Homo-oligomer: A and B are copies of this chain.
């Protein structure tokens, strides 16, 4: 006595062909909307499809066509950033939009452990994906190797150094940081510091470098504090530390809006007025910026466009076109916080 199978075998193209009294070839042509099928054949096939409940097996199709029409987007962020950083959502949506338009499926793969890292690398190698957009890769992890391994068309968002020679979509963090710091200086501040973050990433390093460049002679390492992540908490603690180090501080560049928001809270709790007593500027022009009171002066980073551009970079490679790095414009948004 045997148990009844719960789920019936999926109908194949053969079942359709049989039901329609036609060949597999014809069925395939109908399914793919090709020319050269008679109206009657088409109708017969369509009826048969409905009758047997056929849906095409994409895996089999991919095997023969040698493409998947899917692009991976790999996110490798520290746990907390997935929550705090609004850019990443915009990047995702931007990439999705570009790919959707080209009729590619975006599949997002997240890396949150070594195990993930290897599994994702295998996924890339396996031919399940035609290309990849890589958000914040670590130079060391297996992803870069996998991409190189099989010459997978890929592009970075951002521009970590030490990574393979791939096209990227990025902004000029040093120039943008220099610009907003100069503007802050332009309000007449005498003692300006920075809450730097994520120095293990190119963006973190570059923003610090830009700050330093703008400060020139006035740069004082004692007025710079460093935190590993672009978080509200980093800003809050960082500002308290700066205040302790030099109570006369009257300006601060925070490495991101989240950091700036934390700093503003710390400042206000310490009884300093913003922007009268201390001016504060951020980076990103994320939703944080408008939420602060006063609203944040910051650098607008075109997060969505970064995603879109990176996606287009891999699309270009897929079409055999040359694709080279693209650096996008940023603009200083001057509001009430400085």
What is the interface of chain A, defined by CB distance below 8 A to chain B?
Answer: 6-7, 10, 53, 55-63, 68, 70, 79, 82-84, 86, 89-90, 92-93, 96-97, 100, 103, 105-110, 112-113, 115-116, 119-120, 122-123, 125-128, 149-151, 232, 261, 265, 269, 286-287, 291, 293, 320
- Judge whether B93 and A232 touch: CB under 8 Å: no
- Judge whether A90 and B83 touch: CB under 8 Å: yes
* A293–B267 CA distance with the chains assembled, in angstroms: 13
- Judge whether A232 and B116 touch: CB under 8 Å: no
- Judge whether B126 and A55 touch: CB under 8 Å: yes
**Chain B residues whose C-beta falls within 8 Å of the C-beta of A123 in the assembled complex:** 58, 70, 105
Q: Which of A103, A107, A286 has the most C-beta atoms of chain B within 10 angstroms of its own C-beta?
A: A107
**Chain B residues whose C-beta falls within 8 Å of the C-beta of A120 in the assembled complex:** 105
Chain B residue at minimal CB-CB distance from A56: B126
**How distant is A308 from chain B, measured CB to nearest CB, in Å?**
13
- Judge whether A89 and B82 touch: CB under 8 Å: yes
Chain B residue at minimal CB-CB distance from A115: B100
**Chain B residues whose C-beta falls within 8 Å of the C-beta of A106 in the assembled complex:** 109-110
**Chain B residues whose C-beta falls within 8 Å of the C-beta of A68 in the assembled complex:** 59
**Chain B residues whose C-beta falls within 8 Å of the C-beta of A70 in the assembled complex:** 123
**Chain B residues whose C-beta falls within 8 Å of the C-beta of A82 in the assembled complex:** 89, 92-93
**Chain B residues whose C-beta falls within 8 Å of the C-beta of A62 in the assembled complex:** 59
**Chain B residues whose C-beta falls within 8 Å of the C-beta of A107 in the assembled complex:** 107-109
Known A7-B151, A86-B83, A89-B82; contact A100-B119, beta-carbon cutoff 8 A: yes
- Judge whether B110 and A58 touch: CB under 8 Å: no
- Judge whether B126 and A110 touch: CB under 8 Å: no
**Chain B residues whose C-beta falls within 8 Å of the C-beta of A84 in the assembled complex:** 287
Chain copies in the assembly?
A: 2
- Judge whether A83 and B89 touch: CB under 8 Å: yes
Partner of A79, one of B53, B60, B93: B93
Chain B residue at minimal CB-CB distance from A92: B110
**Chain B residues whose C-beta falls within 8 Å of the C-beta of A110 in the assembled complex:** 92-93, 96, 106, 108
**How distant is A143 from chain B, measured CB to nearest CB, in Å?**
14
Can you list 12 A-B pairs, Cβ within 8 angstroms, ordered by A?
Answer: A6-B320, A61-B126, A70-B123, A79-B93, A82-B93, A83-B286, A92-B110, A93-B112, A105-B120, A106-B110, A232-B287, A265-B291
**How distant is A184 from chain B, measured CB to nearest CB, in Å?**
24
**How distant is A253 from chain B, measured CB to nearest CB, in Å?**
21
**Chain B residues whose C-beta falls within 8 Å of the C-beta of A125 in the assembled complex:** 55-56, 58
Chain B residue at minimal CB-CB distance from A79: B93
Given A57-B127, A59-B62; 10 other pairs, CB 8 A cutoff: A6-B320, A56-B126, A58-B128, A59-B59, A59-B128, A83-B286, A84-B287, A100-B113, A106-B109, A108-B108
**Chain B residues whose C-beta falls within 8 Å of the C-beta of A63 in the assembled complex:** 57, 59-60, 63
**How distant is A169 from chain B, measured CB to nearest CB, in Å?**
19
* A261–B287 CA distance with the chains assembled, in angstroms: 13
